């Protein structure tokens, strides 16, 4: 009988054709999805062409131009063109053109392209988002993407796992973003380096799929290789309307080995903020001195789903964005955007004095659609607040949930939702 294994170990064993794997072992695993975007795919395509004439499977490669699209300048238009032409040349099934696209990590789960038990690599560090669905998913670079497009497999070192035990339930105005920021604050930006974060405990059942996607998205911000959630009724309900391909969910063995256990009681959690310039600088919003802000960004692969926009709309409804603040709201996909229109959120945002953009990674990585000038300060639902991340090297990004970001937009300073709503 095989040794007791974690979810990640089981998925790796199955994809490497082995009965068991152990942490530290180097394996070659078959890939179910290989993803790239308009920044990382062009160099991957160049390298791919040195290796192969044909892709391993036109249905398993996903290409999403989302970072600098709609193209912000001629150079980024050339990069997007490279991706578009490659997709046509190789008849790639899942290429998403502007107008039908979304921010990749919002889009792929929504379109049913990722499923439990799968092994997924993407040339984008937030590929770990799909762990919310019980898949092994991790970010890689362009050369890895290139080789994977040619061969359909890649090598991995099997990571040791940290068990993140969630107890209790989230209170009103506390969400997945607060859970993951709390965890990163506890273990640090390299606290899970080379390791897997496996979320478990009775608290998981109280987390929506949106909460889980946000949490898994930021596993990389603790240095983790992947973050992964059990497949439960909430997962199955989410998948039912979406995933059409066959898949095999896995569950961790009850006696699987973990390098450490971290417990978070969701009952005790309050809204938090990560201060510049590291996601580990986490404080409760209530502990922060009055801090005036210039910009709010609500969106990104971390918090660009419809429930995220719903939280923001609930706070902005009938209120005004502070006169000193630019509030930028970016639905994560065309479907999210349409839903936000139907639910009246877009009208709420516009009436409040916010701008609503088509889906793009835009300001999150300092690309376009909301770059900060010297000395400016933003509250953003994005995932990184590194120095210069959203613009000038002397600007500051505070990471928070959509509820905190919306409340801050109204008050013109970092604020908790209970101060407004």
Partner 1 sequence: MKFSGKVWRYGDNVDTDVIIPARYLNTADMRELAVHAMEDIDPTFAGNVRQGDIIVAGKNFGCGSSREHAPGALKAAGIVCVVAESFARIFYRNAINIGLPLIELGEGDINIKAGDTLAVDLDAGTLENVSTGETFAVPPLPGFIQEIARSGGLVNYTRQLLAAKGGNHE
> 299 — phi, psi (to 5°)?
155, -145
Q: How many CB atoms lie within 10 A of CB 238?
A: 20
Stretch that binds partner 1, among 71-79, 174-182, 318-326, 327-335 (CB under 8 A): 71-79
Quick one: CA dihedral 9, 14, 20, 22, positive or negative? Answer: negative
46 counts as binding partner 1 under rule CB under 8 A: yes
12 counts as binding partner 1 under rule CB under 8 A: no
375 counts as binding partner 1 under rule CB under 8 A: no
389 counts as binding partner 1 under rule CB under 8 A: yes
89 counts as binding partner 1 under rule CB under 8 A: no
Residue with Cβ nearer partner 1 (163 or 384): 384
Residue with Cβ nearer partner 1 (391 or 417): 391
Member of 6, 8, 69, 76 binding partner 1 (CB under 8 A): 76
Residue with Cβ nearer partner 1 (135 or 184): 184
Give me 360's structure tokens: 């793009």
62 counts as binding partner 1 under rule CB under 8 A: no
Stretch that binds partner 1, among 262-270, 298-306, 330-338, 360-368 (CB under 8 A): 360-368
CA separation (Å) from 366 to 284, 315, 360, 406? 26, 26, 12, 20
Closest alpha carbon to 288 in 160, 201, 164, 398: 398
365 counts as binding partner 1 under rule CB under 8 A: yes
Strand residue runs (E) in 266-412: 272-274, 282-284, 295-298, 326-329, 355-356, 377-380, 396-399
Member of 26, 259, 338, 373 binding partner 1 (CB under 8 A): 26
387 counts as binding partner 1 under rule CB under 8 A: yes
- Report the chain's terminal Cα–Cα distance, integer Å: 56
Member of 209, 273, 278, 409 binding partner 1 (CB under 8 A): 278
Member of 114, 137, 140, 213 binding partner 1 (CB under 8 A): 140
Q: Shortest Cβ distance from residue 142 to partner 1 (Å)?
A: 4
Residues 187-206 that bind partner 1 (CB under 8 A): 189-190, 193-194
376 counts as binding partner 1 under rule CB under 8 A: no
Residues 237-266 that bind partner 1 (CB under 8 A): none
CA–CA distance, 358 with 98 (Å, rounded to integer) = 9
Residues 107-126 that bind partner 1 (CB under 8 A): 122-125
CA–CA distance, 106 with 64 (Å, rounded to integer) = 11
Q: Shortest Cβ distance from residue 300 to partner 1 (Å)?
A: 13
Whether the CB-CB separation of 104 and 122 falls below 8 Å is answered with yes
Quick one: CA dihedral 390, 395, 401, 403, positive or negative? Answer: negative
Which positions ≥6 away from 404 have C-beta within 8 Å?
Answer: 271, 273, 285, 379, 414, 415, 416, 417
94 counts as binding partner 1 under rule CB under 8 A: no
- Reported residue count of the chain is 421
146 counts as binding partner 1 under rule CB under 8 A: yes
223 counts as binding partner 1 under rule CB under 8 A: yes
Quick one: CA dihedral 164, 195, 220, 208, positive or negative? Answer: negative
Which positions ≥6 away from 38 have C-beta within 8 Å?
Answer: 64, 65, 66, 67, 68, 69, 76, 79, 80, 83
Number of residues that bind partner 1 (CB under 8 A): 55
367 counts as binding partner 1 under rule CB under 8 A: yes
Interface residues with partner 1 (CB under 8 A) are 26, 39-40, 42-43, 46-47, 50-54, 67-68, 72-73, 75-76, 79, 122-125, 127, 139-144, 146-147, 150-151, 155, 157, 189-190, 193-194, 220, 223, 225, 278, 365-367, 371, 384, 386-389, 391, 393
């Amino acid at each position: 009988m095989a040794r007791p294994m974690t979810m990640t170990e089981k998925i790796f064993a199955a994809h490497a054709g082995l009965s068991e794997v152990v942490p530290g072992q180097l394996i070659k695993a078959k890939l179910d999805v290989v993803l790239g975007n308009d920044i990382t795919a062009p160099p991957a395509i160049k390298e791919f062409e040195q290796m192969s004439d044909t892709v391993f499977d036109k249905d398993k490669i996903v290409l999403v131009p989302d970072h600098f699209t709609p193209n912000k300048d001629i150079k980024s238009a050339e990069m997007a063109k490279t991706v578009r032409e490659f997709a046509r040349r190789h008849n790639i099934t899942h290429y998403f053109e502007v107008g039908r696209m979304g921010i990749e990590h919002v889009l792929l789960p929504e379109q049913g392209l990722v499923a439990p038990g799968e092994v997924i690599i993407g040339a984008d560090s937030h590929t770990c988002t799909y762990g919310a669905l019980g898949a092994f998913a991790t970010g890689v670079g362009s050369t890895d993407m290139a080789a994977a497009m040619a061969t359909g497999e890649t090598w991995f070192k099997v990571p040791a796992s940290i068990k993140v035990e969630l107890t209790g339930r989230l209170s009103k105005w506390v969400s997945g973003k607060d859970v993951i920021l709390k965890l990163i604050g506890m273990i640090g930006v390299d606290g899970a380096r080379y390791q897997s974060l496996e979320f478990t405990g009775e608290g998981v059942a109280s987390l929506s799929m949106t909460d889980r996607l946000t949490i898994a998205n930021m596993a990389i911000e603790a240095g983790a290789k992947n973050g992964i959630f059990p497949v439960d009724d909430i997962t199955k309900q989410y998948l039912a309307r979406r995933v059409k391909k066959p898949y095999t969910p896995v569950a961790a063995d009850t006696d699987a080995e973990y390098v450490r256990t971290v417990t978070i009681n969701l009952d005790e959690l309050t809204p938090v903020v990560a201060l510049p310039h590291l996601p580990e600088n986490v404080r409760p919003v209530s502990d922060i001195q009055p801090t005036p802000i210039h910009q709010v960004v609500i969106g990104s692969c971390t918090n660009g789903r419809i429930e995220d926009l719903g939280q923001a709309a609930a706070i902005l409804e009938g209120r005004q964005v502070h006169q000193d603040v630019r509030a930028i709201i970016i639905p994560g996909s065309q479907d999210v955007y349409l839903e936000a229109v139907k639910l009246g959120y877009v009208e709420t945002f516009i009436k409040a004095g916010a701008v609503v953009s088509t889906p793009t990674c835009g300001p999150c990585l300092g690309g376009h659609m909301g770059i900060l000038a010297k000395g400016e300060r933003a509250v953003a639902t994005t995932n990184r607040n590194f120095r210069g991340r959203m613009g000038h090297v002397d600007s500051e990004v505070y990471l928070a949930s959509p509820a905190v970001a919306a409340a801050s937009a109204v008050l013109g300073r970092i604020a908790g939702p209970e101060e407004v709503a």
